[in-house]
Structure 1
Amino acid sequence: MRGEEESTAPADAPRRRTDVRLGLPALLVWGTAVAGVWLTPGMLALLCSILLVLAVVLLAMSARARKPWARRRSFLTTTAVALMLAAAAAAHSAVPSSQRHDGPLAEAVASGKSVVAVLEITGSPRALTLPGQAGTPERWSVPARTEEMTVSGNVIRTRAELVVMGGRGWNNVVPGQMVRTAGKLRSPEPAQQEAAILAASMAPGAVAAGDASAAADSDAGPIWQVVAKELRGRYVAAASFLAPDPRGLLPGMVTGDTSALDEGLNAAMKTVGMTHLTAVSGANCSLVLGALLVAARSLRLPRLPAAGLALAGLGMFVVLVGPDASVLRAALMGSIAIASLAGGRVGRGLSFLCLAVIGLLLIDPGLAASFGFLLSVLATLGIIVLGPPMMEWTPAVVPRWAAAAWAVPLSAQLLCGPVIVLLQPQFSTYSLLANMVAAPLVAPVTLLGTAAVPLVLWLPWLATALIAVAGTFSAGVAGIARTAAGLPGASLPWPEGPFGLVTMVLLSVLTLAGVWAAVRPRQLVRLVFALHARTVVLLEFAERNVVTGGKRSPLPARFPRPARRCGVRGLEAGAGRGRLRHCTRISGRNPPWRLPKPHEPKRRRRMLPPGGT
């Protein structure tokens, strides 16, 4: 009896419900930010006005709602706040939209004129490599912001986002650095936030002292960015004693520097869907944040000081690897989670994700059109929504860490798969298996490798030891990628476009159902029996109530009516002999090929042969 009470206790306990109230504001802000990339400033102004008017109307309706309609009032207020946030995103998107469509900069871009520009670097350089190319990249893509541009003798002072495509010298710039260069402007691709693309014809140079936007000592960039770049360079040099694969993979997994990554290993990781491990992503931020929090709590620090220390360490890590979109998203989510933990409220991962999405889109609406940001959000959403149920499906004898090892990558892959197909129409057959095998190796690489970064300057011998251990684990990750990529059928072609998206969604749903059926066979059997019982009830109902022309009528002659003396009706377990347990005992007096009419006498009913008169 005690065991039965204990087994029924969890079922009677209240279940924690998922808080989805922030889902509507996040979707509205995202949709408005996407529209801001395509619409003109006039259309954005109209959209912003409509959103504000709707918000005012909903607030007025909420104020007039009476007490019994408390839920309706809450919904109206939440929707009004969501519309206001969407209007703010539309207003923020109007500034880059005006730079793309109106003004002297838009005219210069449309004419493709040569310019001399003073730029502020806003991101880390990204190598542009061609398929099959080996060695040092020759072209680099660098995000920047204009400070001053000279076009045909006219000086344009505006702050617009653009992308610089340059050669040698552009790989050495750091975020925050002021440079001077020359080149030709051309229009960006559709649905891009940048106002232009500058094809640089010269290396970045120092800013002249007479430039209006020049600072006294801004040529080298902010001191923290210079220190971060120096640390990344020294870390790559400190890992040079490793084998070729870990020599390039370890700095990429720790600091985001993929300059030494072998092209063959990079292609293998793309084939098996492990490219998220070649650079710093949200998983690395989560590991660093969790390790710092555990270390602070192990020192018996109170909750608030421990949260502050963890956030400070996370900020230093973001500065080290560079403020990319995925890192910023993960850092913001970690900050919200730590703040909620300090306040004593945990377990609302979906709310944290929605807050992170709203905050990042209000800061930079251009992220709404980024596939990298979309994949990052979808992966986190899958882990939050699908991960815990998958772990609960796992039998109790399986350790929790083992359940998370397969549930986390599968839940992320199920939601990211349809979007990945749009970018690269192929199916990685061994992606899930490779990520599951490599998952236990990622944490040692991230934690030991990150701990070695500051020791490169202070204790080089200890940093070398940590790099050797982390390099061993990263060599295992590289070996898994190369082995999986070499298996037959590692990469299969997939349909392109919307059809490929729909088929991948269907495959994800079938995969989820198959996993549930594999880990819960008893529930599968119960579901089959329940469906069988429902089917029996539907067949009984259809047999008793056949509808013809909108009116109920008796069964047609070709379906013999079961005799009442069988004691049962239709498809029931106690019926006599026959197919599907259907009673077929009939007296034989009324042949099934004809039903007698009510006005006929009994004797005539028995004597009428088929077709008789």
Structure 2
Amino acid sequence: MSLDLRLALPVLAVWLTAGLLIGAPAEAGVVAMTLWLLAGGCAALLVASRIPRRVTSPAPPRFRSWQKMGGSLMLCCAGAALVATAVGVWAPVRLPPEVRAAAESHATVTATVIVWSVPVAAKAFIGSGASGRVRYRATLTQIASRGETAHVSSPVVVFAEAARGRHEPEIGSSVQLRGTLRTTQPGDAAVALLFATETARSLAAPPWWLQWANELRARFKTAATSLAGDGGDLLPGLAIGDTSAVSPALDSAMKTSSLSHLTAVSGANCAIVIASIMLLGGYLRLRRAWRILFSLMTLLGFTVLVTPEPSVLRSAVMATLTLVSIGVGRPGRGIPTLLAVVIGLLVSDPWLARNYGFALSVLATAGLLVLAGPLARVLAQWMPTALAAIIAIPLAAQLACQPVLILLNPSLPLYGVPANILAGPAAPMATVVGLIACLTLPVLPGVAAGLLAVAWLPSAWIAAVAQGVSTLPGTRLPWPGGPPGVLLLVAVTMLGLVVVLRGPAARPARWPAAALAVLLIGLGGYAGSLIGTGIGRVVSFPPDWQIATCDIGQGDAVVVRDGDQYGLVDVGPDPKLLSTCLATLGITHINLLLLTHYDLDHIGGVDAVIGRVDTALVGVPENAEDERLHERLAAGGATVRQAARGDAGTLGGLRWKILWPIRGATTMQVGNPGSVTIMFDGRGIRSIFLGDLGQEAQDTLRRVSPPGRVDVVKVAHHGSADQSPELYAELRARVGLISVGATNTYGHPTDKLLRILASLGTMSVRTDLEGLAVVAPGTNGTLVLWTEKVTDRGPPTSPTPQQTDVPYAAGRVSGAG
């Protein structure tokens, strides 16, 4: 297999340059100047090397290889210089001083935006009454604050109240909102988040060249969702990429079964559209030039209809280049076309470099172009050719995309390829028939209804496969996250491909190589698990994380951190579980240990930290066994102090103080009512840890030591029903951490507790459902939440206008949610 990879190094240079500079745009000018000079120097050397000389013998091979290397280096420098220049030019335009100043001042602004995506439920953000809120991408065109108006052009994500009884803003429409701005992390596609405090007011309808698509999209969604079950809800996603009707449960099942790519419009959809037009043109005996022209026009309309997401842009541009090359009689090859398109798109929009959708689209296409054919030929030795192709296509795409998917979720899909084998053949039928039904709906509604019924069948089949596969045991295998996990997976994948795709001449040695591969994969998996429990997964956490709730079953163990200073509130029931959590977090020493009380699910894991603690705060001992625990901690080098209200100190840059119990009091000093309650404050997060306090103790705490508002609360007693609604109403936390075992027999967390949190706009984060949970400070008062497992989270049941929205990213960090 011969591959034209001459543009591979320039693509890598362009992608890396863009990815780094969009995070530090202030350096783009210097980097661009340096790279242009290097590119010019390489060009000058190449020109000089080609000046004719009075030499009778040809240039030696080594000299020609140096020329090729010089040409490749020049292309790398020139491409990187182009993208660096683009970052330097566009970064100030995207985030002008007026937008930055409004975000930093937290002032209420009047903003005019142009909507560029379909509004969807704001499930990615928590807090601030996410109930009934929607989010959509838009371009901020005008901002008015404190009597001053500025015209800008900044990409933003809008979070607004859902339009009740009215239509949501349409793509291309201009609306005016009042709200507050917050800047995102450098490198995000949107420069700011706009949280609207009032209902949007329409200023202008979409232009005609967008309005037709809006109307068609809405009519098709209404018609499709009127069909029964998940098949109707899924059909708009399969046909035109509109997933707004997909329920959270179905969305989760599609992701778990690795079928969510079927609802992402990409190359396959564009290929189907173009092939249909070319075949129709051939049937009508049109000349090739006319067929290509009609195909390009149809492709443009299709892109408008499905909205130009990054994967759609990549597919559309690549298809356009392919059609043009066919038209001029020089058909291009897949890999060079793909690489050229990647360079062009990254130069035109460098912020695509950190877009997961764009990366997955490029990798999936590369996998199909490079791996699908060889894998199909190998598999065809043991099965029919058609079946080999059906297996090879999803396998090639999965292998190519998995290194990036590991960054999103550090696990491997066990049933991904089988699920795609079952569902894949139904996707083209649902896509083609569904798209035809969409296009005929305005002119032939009766025919469209029949086509919808036909398309519903494969759509329902795909939904059934997703739901069925998602219920199988062990749907995902754990794998180290972060860069170590990516490198390990790439190494294992490359080794496996080398063994499987070896040529016929090497086939006699296949079994020894396969045995070696199995051995290395086994050792790699073991090493990967060790890496994953230590450095590997912690790399994927927010780098400045402050609170981590360990998944240690029915018990408490919560880490508080500032830099290299670590505090630990309780140690859970089992030293092994706690050791695993601390290793995952990369913690070897505890600066401050707090044992809230002496129940086994709070002190049973103490052996994991004895000898590793500087200061231990403890409650009133209940018996001689508790006193011996103090002695063991002291023997391990810890300073043991009995804590009570009024005690205070620091953990790095964080201030802590004890709110409960009251020193010298005669009641509620031991057991659950005597749980030592501590508050941490600093670095953008105010948090409180309630131990196992019951309602009576919580009410007393509220009277004698009013805690005030907090950002994070460690919910008392694993979410039991013995809670004080008044205390939680005073705390009004944005995140409620519930450390609870998945198989507990107490019914924790109770519906009563969950209703209390939901009514206050507090997002419940449960270790039984989400595993290890990490909280970090975000930008401008936001919080970033990372969880080990992805789970569906509906918005709280009652909005709280005063609460601040919190970006949520399950298994990843994303300032834009």
Does TM, scored on the shorter chain, surpass 0.5? yes
Q: Which residue of 1 aligns with 2:28?
A: 44
Which segment is superposed worse, 122-131 or 474-483?
122-131
Contact 1:99 1:106 survives alignment (8 Å): no
Which segment is superposed worse, 481-490 or 390-399?
390-399
Q: Which residue of 2 aligns with 1:544?
A: none
Q: Which residue of 2 aligns with 1:105?
A: 99
**Cα distance in 1 between the residues matched to 2:359 and 2:225:** 35
Residue 357 in structure 1 maps to residue 342 in structure 2: yes
Cα 1:130–1:179 change in 2 (3 A) is: closer
Residue 88 in structure 1 maps to residue 73 in structure 2: no
Residue 192 in structure 1 maps to residue 192 in structure 2: no
**Cα distance in 2 between the residues matched to 1:225 and 1:260:** 21
> 2:198 aligns to what SS in structure 1?
coil
Residue 145 in structure 1 maps to residue 145 in structure 2: no
Cα 1:190–1:530 change in 2 (3 A) is: closer
Contact 2:189 2:355 survives alignment (8 Å): no
**Cα distance in 1 between the residues matched to 2:85 and 2:514:** 53
Q: Which residue of 2 aligns with 1:265?
A: 250
**Cα distance in 2 between the residues matched to 1:301 and 1:70:** 48
Q: Which amino acid aligns with 1:116?
A: T
Residue 178 in structure 1 maps to residue 174 in structure 2: yes
**Cα distance in 1 between the residues matched to 2:404 and 2:309:** 20
Q: Which amino acid aligns with 1:48?
A: A
Structure with the bigger percentage of helix: 1
Q: Which residue of 1 aligns with 2:44?
A: 60
Shift of residue 523 of structure 1? 5.0
**Any stretches of 5+ residues in structure 1 without a counterpart?**
1-15, 208-218, 533-613
> 1:129 aligns to what SS in structure 2?
coil
Contact 1:37 1:193 survives alignment (8 Å): no
Q: Which residue of 2 aligns with 1:470?
A: 455
Shift of residue 440 of structure 1? 1.0
Give the structure-1-normalised TM-score: 0.76
**Cα distance in 2 between the residues matched to 1:513 and 1:20:** 18
- Of 450, 455, 459, which residue of structure 1 is paired with 2:444? 459
Cα 1:156–1:72 change in 2 (3 A) is: same
Q: Which amino acid aligns with 2:334?
A: G
When Rg is computed on C-alpha atoms for both structures, the one with the higher figure is 1
Q: Which amino acid aligns with 2:48?
A: R
**Cα distance in 2 between the residues matched to 1:137 and 1:256:** 25
Matches within 5 A, 1:411-560: 411-509=396-494, 511-512=496-497, 515-516=500-501, 523-527=506-510
Contact 2:95 2:154 survives alignment (8 Å): no
**Cα distance in 2 between the residues matched to 1:485 and 1:251:** 21
Shift of residue 522 of structure 1? 9.0
Cα 1:107–1:402 change in 2 (3 A) is: same
Cα 1:375–1:160 change in 2 (3 A) is: same
Structure with the bigger percentage of strand: 2
Shift of residue 77 of structure 1? 3.8
- Of 145, 148, 153, which residue of structure 2 is paired with 1:154? 148
Shift of residue 459 of structure 1? 0.8
Shift of residue 349 of structure 1? 0.8
> 1:185 aligns to what SS in structure 2?
strand
Residue 120 in structure 1 maps to residue 114 in structure 2: yes
Q: Which residue of 2 aligns with 1:252?
A: 237
**Cα distance in 2 between the residues matched to 1:141 and 1:479:** 29
Shift of residue 527 of structure 1? 4.5
**Cα distance in 1 between the residues matched to 2:36 and 2:492:** 41
Contact 1:40 1:101 survives alignment (8 Å): no
Q: Which residue of 1 aligns with 2:260?
A: 275
**Cα distance in 1 between the residues matched to 2:514 and 2:346:** 45
Q: Which amino acid aligns with 2:32?
A: C
Shift of residue 346 of structure 1? 3.8
Q: Which amino acid aligns with 2:80?
A: A
Matches within 5 A, 1:218-229: 219-229=204-214
Contact 1:18 1:348 survives alignment (8 Å): no
Q: Which amino acid aligns with 1:61?
A: L
**Cα distance in 2 between the residues matched to 1:119 and 1:137:** 23
Cα 1:426–1:171 change in 2 (3 A) is: farther
Cα 1:89–1:272 change in 2 (3 A) is: same
Q: Which amino acid aligns with 1:394?
A: L
Contact 1:96 1:195 survives alignment (8 Å): no
**Cα distance in 2 between the residues matched to 1:474 and 1:52:** 52
**Cα distance in 2 between the residues matched to 1:84 and 1:495:** 36
Q: Which amino acid aligns with 2:49?
A: A
Contact 2:117 2:137 survives alignment (8 Å): yes
Contact 2:414 2:477 survives alignment (8 Å): yes
**Cα distance in 2 between the residues matched to 1:142 and 1:286:** 28
- Of 150, 158, 166, which residue of structure 1 is paired with 2:160? 166
Shift of residue 256 of structure 1? 1.9
Number of aligned residues:
500
Shift of residue 328 of structure 1? 1.0
Q: Which residue of 2 aligns with 1:546?
A: none
**Cα distance in 2 between the residues matched to 1:28 and 1:501:** 19
Cα 1:527–1:130 change in 2 (3 A) is: closer
Alignment deviations for residues 575-605 of structure 1 (CA, whole Å, 9 cap, x no partner)? xxxxxxxxxxxxxxxxxxxxxxxxxxxxxxx
**Cα distance in 1 between the residues matched to 2:121 and 2:197:** 17
Residue 403 in structure 1 maps to residue 388 in structure 2: yes
Residue 287 in structure 1 maps to residue 272 in structure 2: yes
Shift of residue 65 of structure 1? 0.7
> 1:158 aligns to what SS in structure 2?
strand
Q: Which residue of 1 aligns with 2:650?
A: none
Q: Which residue of 2 aligns with 1:216?
A: none
Residue 368 in structure 1 maps to residue 371 in structure 2: no
**Cα distance in 2 between the residues matched to 1:78 and 1:515:** 31
Q: Which amino acid aligns with 2:422?
A: V
**Cα distance in 2 between the residues matched to 1:227 and 1:531:** 56
Q: Percent identity?
A: 35
**Cα distance in 2 between the residues matched to 1:223 and 1:274:** 35
Shift of residue 333 of structure 1? 1.1
**Cα distance in 2 between the residues matched to 1:526 and 1:84:** 45
Cα 1:396–1:293 change in 2 (3 A) is: farther
> 2:114 aligns to what SS in structure 1?
strand
Q: Which amino acid aligns with 2:86?
A: H
Cα 1:229–1:407 change in 2 (3 A) is: same
- Of 356, 360, 376, which residue of structure 2 is paired with 1:391? 376
**Cα distance in 2 between the residues matched to 1:425 and 1:319:** 35
> 2:358 aligns to what SS in structure 1?
helix
Cα 1:531–1:164 change in 2 (3 A) is: closer
> 2:425 aligns to what SS in structure 1?
helix
> 1:457 aligns to what SS in structure 2?
coil
Cα 1:73–1:241 change in 2 (3 A) is: same
Q: Which residue of 1 aligns with 2:198?
A: 202
Q: Which amino acid aligns with 2:83?
A: A
**Cα distance in 2 between the residues matched to 1:264 and 1:377:** 28
**Cα distance in 2 between the residues matched to 1:33 and 1:130:** 26
**Any stretches of 5+ residues in structure 2 without a counterpart?**
53-58, 516-817
Alignment deviations for residues 268-319 of structure 1 (CA, whole Å, 9 cap, x no partner)? 1111111111342332222222232233234333322222221211111111
Cα 1:501–1:531 change in 2 (3 A) is: closer
